[in-house]
Every structure is written in structure tokens, then in C-alpha cells.
Amino acid sequence: MSYTTISFYRYFSVEEPRQLKEQMQKLCREHELTGRILIAKEGINAAVSGRKEEVVKFKKNLCALNFFNGFFSGLTFREQDALERAHHKLTVKVRKEIVHFGKEVDLKKRGKFLKAEELQRWYEDKEKKKGNSQFDFVLVDARNDYEWKVGKFKDAVTLPIKNFREFPEQAKQLEKYKDKKIILYCTGGIRCEKASAYLNEQGFSMVYHIEGGIINYLNHVSAASRSHSYWEGGLFVFDDRLVSETGKPITKCVHCEKAAEKYQNCFNLNCDKLFVGCTDCLQEMKNTCSQACKEAPRQRKIKKKIEQKEILGRVENYFAQKKVALVKVEKKLERGKIINFFGKTTPEFAQQIIELRNEGGEEISCASAGELVTFLVEGKVRKGDKVTF
């Protein structure tokens, strides 16, 4: 089964936030979505996840709502596919702000949107024409320090902030760039949009913000040109994943100093510090940040998965034109069975085996461990993908 995580926001006047809260709770429950939604009189800020097909229906129904003067019409979404849900429960809250800034800002003074493709071109032009002020710009990270430490845009200016409400004070460091093109960015666009309005109010002359944020940039830099991406490291996300792996790590494990980008809350309940650790050290140190924390008496318990999937085989090859998979069987595989495919870059999906053939192309009813078989698949698979019940 494949899942999708989407994030979306919109600044607009909400006269009855609690009425919108009830509407969003109802819509999410209808489509079995989990996540976190914040609603305020200034708008909505949401990140939800669920089964791929249900997320598609949710987006369609949300945009079709004749609610609040059609403000959801034309709403855009930032999307990431995954093998499991990114959120374990649904939370919908009414707040004073959808993103806490602590200062009144006139959002009509927001900066200009800069599309992902435009940012890519600006970077390329800047590198080709160094020294030409016409192509000069300054990229500013509007996120918290623990976010940009695991990933940021090349040559971006970062600010030492622990939360977004510290941005106005730390933005004083940007005074020296007041006459340059300033491009603000954040994860999905909501923070940099508000920050752009603030900078314009402070007299900055050319302020832009990336439309859709980092997620939109990464989604629009095609796989073919990913090697030319100007994004460095991983992407911090506010869900159960903590870090979405998007590139070569720029951070190191606190224990062995090898390149790593996995954030982990220390399992010592009296510490709970957020730190970066590699897979081997996290296992050796029992998910703690130090020897003292490893030996501490109050430890967080690991939630065991209820169901362990039985591996039936592994994909050896995929013939795209015929949509046929060649699978090496590890346990008895029968025609008519419903199976699952999943892999490191293949979102999980289920299907029934309608027709099963052996290595010689003869139709068979079942196959035993060690045999090579072929059958039609409903989605694209890759070598090494697992086949399970």
C-alpha cells in the first residue's frame, strides 16, 4: 500500500475558525487522513497523510468546497510519497496565528513569488556571470537552526533562530543586503511568505519568496537534473519522519562523526535532546545521545510493529514495455494470491497474481523457493524490490 503526505496553506480571512475546524475534521475523517492542521483568523496551515487514493479524493473535495467564499479553489499542494503514514494521529486546532510570528504583519505587502524553475535559472545565471550585479541575489533561510543544519540551499544565509518568532530580531543581520535581491525560503512557503511581508515593511527594496518552498523546488527539479540541484543535504519535516532524505548528508553522527542526517530524540526521557546519529550508532547507543543517557534508568520504549511481513520473493528484473516482473521466489507463490510490492524507492502497492509463468514461459499454478517466475504487475517495480503477503 502506498501513502502520500501533502502540505498546504493559505492566508485568508476566516471569520469563524471553529466552523472551519469542524469542516476539516469531518473531511479528514471521511478519507482516513492523519496529520496536523492549524486554523486562525488569518488562514489555514496543514500537513496530512494517508493512502494515496484517499489523498487524491481529499484534494478534489477540499478544492470543491463552497466554504468561506471559495477560498480553497485553486489551492496548491506540496506532495511526498512514502511507504507509510508520516503522522500517527489527526490534530486540528484553532490558534491565534497559523505560524507564530509574534508581530502584526500586513500580508498585502508580501514579496513576489519566485517559481522553482526560476530559482534554478537564477542560480545558473549567477554562476555563469560572476561579478555582474544584475545577476546577484542573496538567499535567506527563514527556518529554525535545527532545520537548516541538516539541509539548505547552496550559499544561503542562515539565522540563529530556535523558532520563527525570533525572525524579526535576527533579521537585523540582513540590513547589509537591503539593496540586493533577497530570496526567502522555508519548507512549504508559509513562513517565508509572512517574513517577506515583514522585510518589505522594514524598507527592503527587492524581496522574493520561493513559491511552495523547498518541497516544491525539489519536486520540480527533475530526476534527470537532480545532480545540478542547488539543494544540499536532507530536508527537516514536522512529522514522524523528522528528516526526508533528499541528497548527500551535510551533518555528522554525534558519536562517530560519519556523514549522517537522521534526527533522533534521545531515548533518555530526562534528556529528549534532538541529535543526529547514524544507523549503527543509534543501534549501539540504544537511540541515546551519550553514554550517560544510555545508562539512564528512564528510557523510551520502542513501539513494536504489530505485523511482520513474510517475504515471498524479490524482483530480479522489470520489463517496462510489457509491464512484467521477473521474480525469484523465496517461499511458495501461487496464482490468484494478493501480494504487495515495496522497495527503497518504490511506494508499496497491492495486486492479485492473475497469470503466473515459469522461466521458460509456461503457465503454472504455483512456484517453489528458488524458482524464477514472471507475471504482469500493475505498477512500476525495480530490481531488489520485495514481494510480500
Residue 290 forms part of a structural domain:
no
Domain check: are 86 and 113 in the same one?
no
Distance, in Å, from the CA atom of 43 to the CA atom of 21, rounded to the nearest integer, reads 11
Residue 133: its pLDDT value, please? 62
| Gap between the terminal Cα atoms of the chain | 11
| Residues 327/373, Cβ–Cβ less than 8 Å | yes
Last residue of a domain, one of 94, 129, 155: 94
Residue 234 forms part of a structural domain:
no
Residue 272 forms part of a structural domain:
no
Residue 252 forms part of a structural domain:
no
Residue 280: its pLDDT value, please? 92
Q: What is the CATH number of the domain that holds 372?
A: 2.40.30.10
- 127: closest CA among 231, 232, 230, 247? 230
Task: Please list the alpha-helical segments (H only) found in 149-236.
Answer: 167-170, 190-201, 213-220
Read off the pLDDT band of 224 (50, 70, 90). very low
Last residue of a domain, one of 220, 248, 275: 220
Q: Give the number of domains in the chain.
A: 3
Domain check: are 170 and 204 in the same one?
yes
Read off the pLDDT band of 170 (50, 70, 90). very high
| Residues 246/259, Cβ–Cβ less than 8 Å | no
Q: Whole domain around residue 357: which residue ranges? A: 311-388
Read off the pLDDT band of 264 (50, 70, 90). confident
Chain segment 182-196, per-residue pLDDT in tens = 999 999 999 999 999
Overall average pLDDT of the 124-136 stretch? 74
User: Cα separations (Å) of 64 from 59, 72, 75?
Assistant: 9, 7, 10
- 282: closest CA among 308, 261, 304? 261
* Residue 239: pLDDT over 80: no
The answer to whether residue 186 is catalytic is: yes
Overall average pLDDT of the 128-151 stretch? 85
Least confident of 170-174, 213-217, 286-290: 213-217
- Could you count the other beta carbons within 10 Å of the beta carbon of residue 323? 14
Q: Return mean pLDDT, the chain.
A: 88
Domain check: are 83 and 112 in the same one?
no
Overall average pLDDT of the 138-147 stretch? 95
* Residue 15: pLDDT over 60: yes
| Residues 17/39, Cβ–Cβ less than 8 Å | yes
- Mode of pairing for the β-strands spanning 366-367 and 349-352: unpaired
> Among 28, 186, 278, 289, which one carries the catalytic annotation?
186
Collapse the DSSP code of 54 into the 3-class scheme (helix H, G, I; strand E, B; otherwise coil) and give the result: helix
CA–chain centroid gap for 254, Å, is 24
Residue 129 forms part of a structural domain:
yes
Residue 298 forms part of a structural domain:
no
Domain check: are 77 and 154 in the same one?
no
Distance, in Å, from the CA atom of 94 to the CA atom of 102, rounded to the nearest integer, reads 16
The whole-model pTM stands at 0.68
* Residue 262: pLDDT over 90: no
Residue 159: its pLDDT value, please? 97
Distance, in Å, from the CA atom of 253 to the CA atom of 342, rounded to the nearest integer, reads 28
Q: What is the CATH number of the domain that holds 145?
A: 3.40.250.10
Distance, in Å, from the CA atom of 209 to the CA atom of 142, rounded to the nearest integer, reads 10
- Mode of pairing for the β-strands spanning 90-94 and 151-153: unpaired
* Residue 225: pLDDT over 80: no
Chain segment 298-313, per-residue pLDDT in tens = 998 765 443 456 789 9
Q: What is the CATH number of the domain that holds 55?
A: 3.30.70.100
Residue 265 forms part of a structural domain:
no
Distance, in Å, from the CA atom of 62 to the CA atom of 60, rounded to the nearest integer, reads 6
Least confident of 17-26, 74-83, 299-308: 299-308
Read off the pLDDT band of 69 (50, 70, 90). low
| Residues 80/47, Cβ–Cβ less than 8 Å | no
Residue 172 forms part of a structural domain:
yes
User: Cα separations (Å) of 232 from 150, 154, 268?
Assistant: 9, 6, 31
* Residue 70: pLDDT over 80: no
Chain segment 345-357, per-residue pLDDT in tens = 787 788 889 899 9
Please report the sign of the dihedral spanned by the C-alpha atoms of residue 110, residue 113, residue 119, residue 125.
Answer: negative
Distance, in Å, from the CA atom of 190 to the CA atom of 99, rounded to the nearest integer, reads 8
Overall average pLDDT of the 353-376 stretch? 92
Amino acid letter for position 304: K
Last residue of a domain, one of 220, 239, 262: 220
* Residue 42: pLDDT over 90: yes
